[in-house]
Structure 1
Amino acid sequence: YVDAYNNLGIIFNETGQYHKAIAVYRKALTLNPFWDKLYVNLATTYSVLEQFNEAIKVLDESLMLVSNSKMLNFAKGRLLVKLGNLNEGLLLELAGGVFSFDSETGITLRTGLSDEEIKSI
């Protein structure tokens, strides 16, 4: 059922029914509170509504449950950068293993995520 709720949330987002999407994602999280993609989708929906504090709150709560999720670290870092908090955003992404630094090649993006997952964040 969790997949069905997630897919329904995506449909609600795509049709501009953001409050319904939020309700569906929250329902899905009661069934599986460890699926990082649900938190990213929920936070993204709050961001679309420009409820950035709520989006960050969702990501903070999710990182307490799924602290090793590269997807969550990337999503929070990207949101912080978008909000102008470049230092904390990039540090979070570095700490999450999203970027690596090599003195010869510079900074490399290493998300471990598919291109489609990155586009959705």
Structure 2
Amino acid sequence: MTIFVTTPFRTYAWSWLGLLALGGVVTAVVLTGILRRPVIAEDETSLTVDAAVRLQDLRIPMPAVYAVPVAFDPMTGNAQPSGYAPWLIGYASLAVVTQAVAGFVSWRRSRAILSGA
């Protein structure tokens, strides 16, 4: 949004905002489907399996994937306004690191559920 307001690169800013919005919509649709899905469990064991499968399914959307293309502009074509390259790379890095931390926490939680802890 800052690029849109402070520079003449309006189309550039709208295209990245559109990609960010698309990622948000896809993530919201997938997460809503997972979280609103009915629990299928007949006993304690099947409830544990259902919980583990839900945790595994939450890894599907991977919203960081929508931030990675932002890093390609500074590395290849320099189409971004001057001075914004570090911010764009920082944004993409933050998204990927956050996704990696969330994946690691989810993986540990899945292991704890499957081991019965």
TM-score, normalised by the number of residues in structure 2: 0.32
Q: Which of structures 1 and 2 has the larger relative contact order (alpha carbons within 8 angstroms, sep 6+)? A: 2
TM-score, normalised by the number of residues in structure 1: 0.32
Higher relative helix content: 2
